[in-house]
Structures are given as structure tokens and as C-alpha cells.
Structure 1
């Protein structure tokens, strides 16, 4: 990892902690985030030259607090806040991590679900507005307006964990946000890198915190298990040149056995102890993959059975897409293509390259190399991820050479 990547990772992890501390103290989400962004920009300019401070979190808190106060002391602000000027002095915030409280604040019920997701990915996940817009398939200007409105709406909200009565509604959104954060880190939606370990690491860290806070919540444990079992394969996902290696071709000796053991243990302790949810089922599917000594030893009938249950309790195009692959492994590629065909008229998949990529894979297995190559090429044109573009383009070229 380069020095710049280490600095970026450090700042990404600290940013939500600093924002949470400022919002806890001052309550004005929008102004606090602007101040944090200024402090991060100062750090990017100064730390490579002067060195990373001994306590980088305190440095950022001080810089952001100073920026916040300077803004409030401007001519127009002073007229509005003369009565509370004494409360605007920078303070030393207790050395505690309020990121989880910030996470629940971003999932406040005054916000619509899309705004909750967008604000959390921006404030806690550290994604840029452009990255979030790509994930939501909307223009960047639209996403910027959505995030700005969301910050205004939570400006006066109480900075505290929700009560037990409020928790179920808020928790489902929090879990979905963490899931999206992890997915964006594991397979970046755009850019030159296949994934972003800093983002997956932060999603896992926050989910661990949530699991410690709510040890009896089966879906929290399920999500943590899913993340661990998935991230355990990260070292084998690309070769030395950075090219994507499909799951079936990965070197399983590179998988993280400690993460797999922890994830499997979570699944075994959790599954069947309470209501079964989608994260538990996805974790169980990941566990079946990870416990197979070879790709050929994978228990596909068990995976398909789990997808059948998942499709009943949490139906959706992504589940259908994955189930089609499992169906093909059990019943043959033509049968899998028939399942996949049910998504052709689903508008939710219209902008996703994954439908074409899976179609190409199944067509190739069925022996239709011409149609498979065309699907690989279409999928390559639809993704903004450069590693995925290269992989899909190479797949198309490989098939053309065989015709």
C-alpha cells in the first residue's frame, strides 16, 4: 500500500469520528460536515510535508472546530448568534467514538429511505457524491441536492442512540447502509481499483460495534458473518497483475481462514435462534462456498435451497440473478438462462452490467460462444469499473478466438 493510500485510509476512518464529535457538540450537521471537509483538505496538504501528528483525531477535531467557529464568527453569523457566542469556543471532545450514533442519526425517520442511505454513505462511509450517484444510478447533481436536503432535515435532531421502541425501524436501514458500504468497498462501482479495503474495513468495524451493542439481533450477526466470509476471499480475487480471478478459479489457500472460522461460527450460533432474515441466509450461502475445499466440491444443491428460501423472504432482481447461477449449477446452463430471462423486463436491471455478465457466463457454458461474446462485450460497455471492463473484454476476445 502506498503512502497516499495509507493517508487516505487513515482520513477515511477518522472523518466520521470527527464529524460525530462535532455534531454531538454543536448539532448543526451541515455546518459541521463542511468544517470536517476543510480539516481533511488541510490534512492532505500538511501531513505529507510535516508528518502525521501524534494524535491525528485530535488534530482534525481542532482544525474542524476552528473552521466551524471561524464561520460562525463571520459578520453575518455573528449577528444571528451573539447570544450564544460563548458556546462557540473550541472544546476538547472526549476521546470516544460516536460514529455509531452518527450512523443512526443519518438513518433518522424524518428522511426518506433513499436519503437515509445517501447521507450515511456520504457522512459515515466517506463515499464521494459522484460514487453515491453511480450506486443509485442518478446524476451527480441530483444526488448532491438530495444529500444537502437530508443534512438540513436532520440539523436539529437529537444526537443519541434511538430508544428501544424506535430501534427496529432504524436498524433495518442501518444494516442496509452497512451492506451497501461493504459492497462498494468489495467491488467498487467505478474507478481503476477492483475494491477498496478501507471501505470494507470500516463497514466491518461498524458492524462489529453494532453487534456488540445488540448481541441478540440475529440479522446484525448475520450481516457481520456475511462480510467476514466474503472479505476472507479478497486476497485471491485478483492476480499479481490486478486482473480479476473468478471464484471458481481462485487459490483457496489465499483465503483468510481466521475470518472464515469467525464467520462460520457466527452463522452456526445465529441461524435458527430467531427469525431468519436475508443477511443470515446470504451468510449461510457464503459459508457453503468458503467451506468447500475446491470449486468442484461446492454443495450447489444446498446453495440453491438457501436461495429458494431467500427468494421467498426477500425477493428481488439481485437474488434472482444469483439464484440463476445456482440453478444452472444444479440443473444445467439452459435452465439457469430460463431463470435469468425473467429479469429481461425488470427496469431495475436496465442499467446493471451484471445481468449481461451472468448471461454471458451461462451462454458460454451452454456452448453458444457467439451470443456469449456479445453479452460479455455489452457488459463491458455498461460498467464503470476498469478491472471489470478489462476482464469482460478479455472474456469476449477469448471467445472470438475460439470461433
Structure 2
């Protein structure tokens, strides 16, 4: 079944019971078009395919595409809109072999607020300009890719998202906001925010078999992780590994949730003045914090257990490194570069092997008013 509407302000509405063995195609030309699909297209719960495939292609112009019915699609579901400001809404129940939504350039809004199951790959992409992508329903997919392109973008996952393999969220240049407040289960999860003043906030329940990676480009970025990442007390691993890489600029990284990490936890910030704070409950195989050059502040004020090595490194300039919580580790190394480094070890620090504190040139006060238990303790002030 093919519906081909030429240029102009077109309105296409499908609201019945549809069974199409091959492709259902809705194509409109340039102009401000409205495409609305409701009704029933097979049975998702009954496993009866109503469509072989679905293709919606809205040409140039400010278009609105809305799917609010029930869609059992054996093959691919493709929704494409051209340039200009487009709105794509999928609020029904859908099952498809693959899903592709390409909203093109313009200030676009893409919303998935239904119950969506994709056997293989689910891809959502928007081009340049300021875009809003929101997933608030239930999404299950083999893999998930969200690419918001350049512009000041907002990406929100506030539903129940389950991805068998990789889930990746990418934004380009300018100031972007990425917020995950729902439940996310994935083989791996990567959030890649380009240059600009970016805000990345995770505050839900997360289970990632492989790596959870948050990477931001140059600019003043804020990365905040709260919520639950497994169970430390219950011994349930929530993350295979954790990697946070904040690019150049004065960045703030804050971890205040509960983190059960089977492998490594790595936090890296580049030059400029950065703040890294761990005030939650963390258990990891290893821990590495590298704050780079700049006037940095690193604070550990939570309950932190590291099976192997815990290492904190700061570069040149005046830094403050403070441990006021409980830190248990196989070994602990604090390496402060050139500049005046301050900050006490005022917590409970039991370490199986060696504790080493190294400072560079300049006047560095090293204060240990807390409790330190270790096989060896070395303070190297150059």
C-alpha cells in the first residue's frame, strides 16, 4: 500500500485495521504536512504481523508525524522528515525488526512515549539546530543509537530502556543537556557530548554489563551521577566498568549514588580548574582520578572500597585533595604535581599494601588527622 501526496499542505490519516504483506509507504512532497497513523496494524501481543515494513517519508517543510496505534511490523520501520522544524511522535505499541527515525535539519522534536520493541537496531538522528529527543515509555532494542547533531540539544530518557548490546547517545557542538532518570539496562552505554557547555545527569537505576562511558568535549561541563548502579551491600554488580572523561574547560564531576563496579572506575579531566567529588558508596576493582593541570579540587567523602589500586593524580597549579570518608583499597597513591597542594586525609583509610603521597615543588602542607592503616606509608615532598 503506497500513499503518495505531492507538494502542498497535505493531511494523511490512517485509522482502521490494516494488513499489508509488503510495504506500507506514506510519502509527501514539500510543504507543511500532517501524517497520522492510528488503528491496528497486526497484533503485537498475539505475534501477528500486520505490516511487512513501514516507510514514512515527509519531504521538506515543517511536518508532523504521529503514530498512536498498534503496529506489528515484520521488517523495518523508517520515518524520515526533511529540513525545517519537524515533530515525530510514537506513542502507541510497536514491534519491528528495526527502527530508524531521521528528522533532518531544523528544530525538531522526537518523542517515544509508547511501548516499543525493536529486534535489531533502533536509530534516532536529528541534524543541526536545536533538537529535543525524549524517551519516556518502554523501549526494548537490540541496540540503540541517538545522534542529536549540532545545536543546543536536549536528550531525555525517563522511561524503561532495555538494550541487549550497545546504547549510545551523541550530541555535537554547542550547549547540550543529556538526562537519564529512568531505568536503563544495556550491554554497554556511552554518552558522547561534543564541545560546548554540556550538562549530563544520570539519576535512575542502571545495569550495564560492559562499560558506562560519559565523554564530553571542550567547554564548561557538568557531569552528575546519582541513583543506583547495582547493589554494593547485596554484592550485585551494576556496571562492568565506569569511564568519565571531561575535556578541556572548568568541569564539575559529582558521584553521589551507589556504585557496584566489577572492573575499573576512571575519572579524567583535562586542563583548567576542575572539581571532582565522590560522596556516594562505591565498590570497584580499581579507581583512577586524573584531574590534569589547573586549580583542581578532588574530594572523597563517601564509603569507597577498591579491591586493587586507588590512584589520585593532579597536575600543575594549586590543588586540593581531601579524603574525609572511608576509603578501603589494595593500595593508595596520591600524586600531586607542581603547585601548592593542600587537603587532609581526615577519614578512615585502611589499605592492604602501600600508601604513597607525592607532591611536587612549592609549599605543600600534608596533613593526616584521620585513621590510616597500611603495610607501608611514604610521603614524598619534593
Say yes or no: TM over 0.5.
no
TM-score category of the 2 structures, normalised to the smaller one: under 0.3
Q: Which protein is richer in strand relative to its size?
A: 2
* Higher Rg: 2
